[in-house]
């Protein structure tokens, strides 16, 4: 009966195969010992006269069972029909049962994950998180509340500064107030405390369950709908419609679509005509901005056998001031008389604040947008079946209005507790959209880490100098709907 468990693959194989192997080895060992060791030990240890007798409970049971057995042997048909009827009723009831990969274990502790808008700084996120902690600490059934904002020191759990994990440790059940009967009551009371706190998107789970879900498929929720395609705008729009459809399903909780945009971006647009009138090239203007924002080497400092680059750049306060940036002098070409001339940067560049991309997720070489949802109060398989029907009714449109082909969705039931609704293809044309990259940027041969400036240079049309606040974000302009290379390209080769 345990051999079918050995056919499992993936996560379910790693979960149940050791248990099946252990039980099979135990049964095999018990069988061998029962015909070898046990009879020998009985012969050695059991001596004297041995007689077989039945204990009193067995005799009492046989006295009442024997008449019923005789009637069944004499007239077997009523008993056969009765057994078949019980089996048929059991089969009908089995069809009404829900589907779960494995029972959800009660870890006692609770994890409340909070997300803010992408532009939230670490200080603002911390202040909002303290409000959440103070609200949860007032619950009489809670013993301890602590939080973690952004990345940890080791970087094994990457999170942006606008995300926080709050760990809630409840008191023993005997210390709960009278109105709290179960853990579901605690979750309901946590949601009620979180509603007045504006600006937070909340997801409630258990610590180990959350990590287990994240290790399986890279998302923390019970159900994940993954959209694949090329056009992030069209995918985000479709993701919003799918999230709206999932919220109408009974049992859906913490439904959220991945936010791909909304990060604050400071753009510097070079006026090519104005730069040409002054005899300046785009590279010269970009070099001035790169020196002011990213810094430029001005020398080298030696301390014993160590040496350090001396980098000159504007202070942080002035780099965030548009007027100061506009007054940066841009050196003009020499006129032959040896006189150095300059003009303010504002004469050849325009400064604007815009909203850029927040993140670009990829899987198997395709861009991806994930819609997550937790399931409460019902079975996971029934929720996914209803979600498949709801998502099938969602209309997927091209960003210019042309419909794409009807999506085919499959539900991965074997392998893990997570249910992935996979949309294999959501395609839309690129209309002059630039490539984007989040990570380490290179400006004029120099690398800059998070929080440093990065230049966005186009090969046609307008030229942008792009500054992503709080994280490096490089994008490369394109001509029309052309595509070249992958998303992650070195700006030196753009």
CATH code of the domain covering residue 269: 3.30.2090.10
Instruction: Please name every residue paired with 342 in a beta bridge, in sequence order, or none if there are none.
Output: 331
Q: Which structural domain range is residue 305 located in?
A: 264-333+340-357+432-493
Same domain, 117 and 212: yes
Same domain, 90 and 211: no
- The CATH number that applies at residue 392 is 3.30.70
Question: In terms of DSSP bridges, do strands 419-426 and 223-229 run parallel, antiparallel, or are they unpaired?
Answer: parallel
- Least confident range of 256-260, 320-324, 352-356, 396-400: 396-400
Q: State the average pLDDT for the chain.
A: 76
Same domain, 122 and 141: yes
41-85 pLDDT per residue, tens: 988 888 878 777 888 899 999 989 999 899 999 999 999 999 999
**CA-CA distance, 374 to 173, in Å (whole number)?**
25
Same domain, 254 and 346: no
pLDDT band at 154 (very low <50, low <70, confident <90, very high): low
Q: What is the pLDDT at residue 160? A: 81
222's CB contacts (< 8 A; 6+ apart) are 213, 373, 374, 375, 380, 417, 418, 419
Same domain, 115 and 211: yes
C-alpha to C-alpha distances, 13 to 2, 23, 28, 186, nearest whole angstrom: 12, 15, 21, 34
Same domain, 347 and 203: no
Same domain, 158 and 206: yes
**pLDDT of 200 higher than 90:** no
Per-residue pLDDT averaged across 262-273, rounded? Answer: 85
Could you say which of 397, 429, 461 is where a domain stops? 429
- The CATH number that applies at residue 176 is 3.30.70.1430
Q: What is the pLDDT at residue 337? A: 66
**pLDDT of 417 higher than 50:** no
Q: Tokens 């004469």 identify what position? A: 347
438-476 pLDDT per residue, tens: 222 333 333 333 333 333 333 333 333 333 333 323 232
Same domain, 364 and 462: no
Of the chain, the percentage scoring pLDDT greater than 90 comes to: 18
Same domain, 347 and 455: yes
Please count the structural domains in the chain.
5
Same domain, 36 and 23: yes
pLDDT band at 205 (very low <50, low <70, confident <90, very high): confident
Dump strand ranges (E) for 201-270: 201-205, 223-229, 252-257, 261-270
Could you say which of 154, 186, 220 is where a domain stops? 220
Same domain, 458 and 424: no
Same domain, 23 and 133: no
Q: What's the predicted TM-score (pTM) here? A: 0.61
């Amino acid at each position: 009966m345990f051999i079918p468990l050995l056919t499992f693959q993936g996560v379910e194989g790693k979960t149940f195969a050791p248990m099946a192997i252990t039980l099979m080895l135990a049964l095999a060992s018990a069988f061998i010992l029962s015909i070898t060791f046990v009879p020998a030990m009985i012969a050695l240890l059991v001596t004297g006269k041995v007689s077989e007798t039945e204990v009193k409970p067995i005799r009492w049971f046989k006295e009442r069972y024997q008449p019923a057995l005789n009637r069944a042997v004499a007239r077997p048909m009523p008993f056969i029909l009765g057994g078949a009827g019980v089996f048929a009723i059991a089969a009908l009831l089995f069809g009404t049962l829900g589907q779960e990969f494995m029972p959800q274990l009660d870890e006692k502790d609770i994890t409340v994950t909070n997300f803010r808008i992408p532009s939230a700084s670490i200080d603002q996120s911390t202040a909002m998180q303290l409000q959440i902690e103070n609200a949860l600490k007032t619950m009489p059934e809670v013993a301890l509340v602590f939080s973690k904002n952004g990345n940890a020191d080791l970087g094994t759990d990457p999170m942006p500064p606008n995300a926080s994990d709050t760990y809630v440790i409840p008191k023993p059940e005997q210390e709960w107030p009278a109105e709290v009967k179960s853990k579901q009551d605690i979750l309901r009371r946590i949601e009620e405390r979180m509603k007045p706190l504006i600006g937070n998107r909340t997801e409630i789970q258990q610590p180990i369950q959350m990590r287990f879900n994240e290790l399986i498929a890279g998302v923390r929720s019970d159900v994940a709908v993954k959209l694949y395609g090329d056009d992030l705008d069209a995918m985000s729009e479709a993701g919003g419609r799918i999230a709206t459809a999932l919220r109408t399903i009974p049992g859906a909780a913490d439904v959220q679509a991945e936010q791909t945009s909304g990060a604050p971006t400071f753009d510097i647009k070079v006026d090519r005509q104005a730069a040409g009138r002054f005899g300046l090239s785009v590279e010269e203007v970009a070099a001035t901005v790169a020196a002011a924002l990213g810094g430029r080497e001005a020398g080298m400092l030696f301390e014993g056998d160590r040496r350090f680059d001396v980098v000159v750049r504007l202070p942080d306060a002035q780099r965030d001031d548009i007027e100061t940036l506009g007054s940066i002098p841009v050196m003009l070409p020499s006129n032959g008389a040896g006189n150095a001339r300059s003009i303010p940067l504002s004469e050849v560049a325009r400064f604007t604040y815009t909203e850029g991309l927040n993140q670009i997720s990829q899987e198997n070489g395709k861009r991806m947008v994930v819609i997550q949802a937790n399931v409460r109060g019902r079975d996971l398989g029934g929720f996914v079946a209803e979600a498949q029907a709801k998502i099938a009714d969602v209309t997927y449109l091209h960003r210019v209005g042309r419909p794409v082909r009807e999506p085919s969705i499959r539900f991965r039931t074997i392998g893990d507790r997570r249910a992935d609704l996979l949309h294999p293809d959501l395609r839309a044309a690129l209309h002059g959209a630039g490539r984007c990259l989040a990570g380490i940027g290179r400006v004029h041969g120099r690398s800059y880490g998070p929080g440093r400036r990065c230049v966005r240079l186009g090969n046609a049309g307008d030229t942008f100098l792009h500054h992503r606040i709080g994280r490096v974000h490089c994008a490369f302009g394109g001509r029309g709907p052309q595509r070249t290379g992958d998303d992650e390209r070195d700006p030196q080769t753009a």
